[in-house]
Structures are given as C-alpha cells and as structure tokens.
Amino acid sequence: MGEPSLSELLGIWVEGWASTRHYPVQDVGAFKAVQLTDKSGDWEAFAADPSEQEFADLAAFVTESSPRLMTVLTENLPAYRALGEKHGLVELAADQELMIMDFEGKDVEAPWLNDDELKLTTDYEDHSATVTVATTDGTLAARGHVAVAHGYAVFDRIITEPAFRRRGLGSFIMRALTAAMSEHNLDQGLLIASTDGQHLYHHLGWSDVSQVLVLTNPGNTQGGSLSSD
C-alpha cells in the first residue's frame, strides 16, 4: 500500500474528530458532513481539493441553511476562495493546518507530571481517551482528547487554561494522550491546529500536510472550531 491521499487522510481525521465530540456524520455525495450538535446544530461538509463540480454540489448543500460550513483542505487557497465567492460563500477562517506525526521512534510511555500541585486523570471510552490536568482543588489546568480511526490517533481540543500556560502542559497533554493510545500500536497521529498550536506541534515533531479553508454563508460569523488547540 502507498501513502494515503489527502482525501483519505481527511476522511480519517473527520471520523476521529467526530468520534471525540460524538457528532453524527452523513454522506454528501462522495464527501462527509458532520453535525455540530454542540454549536450551531447544523452541518459542516469536508472535502480535499474538490473539482469545480464537486465544489458546486457541496456549495449547494451549504447554502441550504445559513449556519452550514464547508471546509476545504488544499494548498491552493486562492482558487477555492474564488470558487467560494462564485457560489456566494464567504471565508470564515484560513489559518489552520492539517498536521501529521510519525510515532516510530517516539516516546509513547506515560509522562511524569513534575508538579505536586497538579494531578493527571485519563478517562477511556471505547477507542478514545480524555486527559485532564487539574489542581488538587479541582481547577482545570489543561486537557485534550484523542480517538483511534483506521490506525491513526486523531487529537482534538488540546487546551491549556491561561493561568497555567508556559509550564509545558501542552506538550505534557500530547504525550499523555499518545501514551493513552499506545495499546493500539498506532503508527501515526493526525490533528488540525491553529496558527498558535502549529508552533507547539512543530516543536514536538509534527509535519504540515495541508492548509484548511473554512467557508460559510454571508452573515454567519459563528461557525465551529476545528482546531485541536
């Protein structure tokens, strides 16, 4: 088997991301759409470098309802911005990146939390896990989620609370999530990160795969957050 295509990687990411958030998934033609039940309650469609006709079909789906989103993975942002404008869609975000990590040779042992004031908790659910770091009085310091999809670990919502930043908790959470999935013998990880998150993940050895363009209907500025940080 060769390397997975961008479309295949996106499909894996969507499945894992939807799993961590318990989002329903449906087919829209050859593509997937996810219902953002904790946000707008409407659908977000995903595609990797769709053809003009595929884009038109997805745009028709998105324009049926104002809160809907279309997320396109591509290295040709200008072309899809132009297609979005042609079909009456507007740009909501273009600062995120699909990233990948090869776990081979990486430390997947559970990390040691070197802070007596903080406690690590790992909760498992089917093929997913949630890691939280909190103070002894229960104040949340950091958290993150991970799910297994087709042999990949899909990371999501890696968050460090403002009062606890610059203490290495983002890196710690990523190591703890990787360790939580170690029994599945996963080879690679996937995530979508904001600009701020990309700096951390590059430092941890993650590589860029594709830019992410989020489009929506005029007047919809709420949207949903894809990023894992």
What is the reported pLDDT for 109?
75
Q: Please give the torsion angle defined by the CA atoms of residues 24, 93, 68 and 83, in that order, rounded to the nearest 10 degrees.
A: -120
What is the reported pLDDT for 184?
87
What is the reported pLDDT for 219?
86
Spans of the chain, pLDDT less than 50: none
List the one residue out of 55, 25, 19, 57 whose CA is nearest residue 43: 25
Question: Which amino acid does the sequence have at 214?
Answer: V
Beta strand pairing status for 31-35 and 43-48?
antiparallel
What is the reported pLDDT for 223?
61
What is the reported pLDDT for 225?
53
Give the span between the Cα atoms of 92 and 226, in whole angstroms.
Answer: 12
What is the reported pLDDT for 200?
93
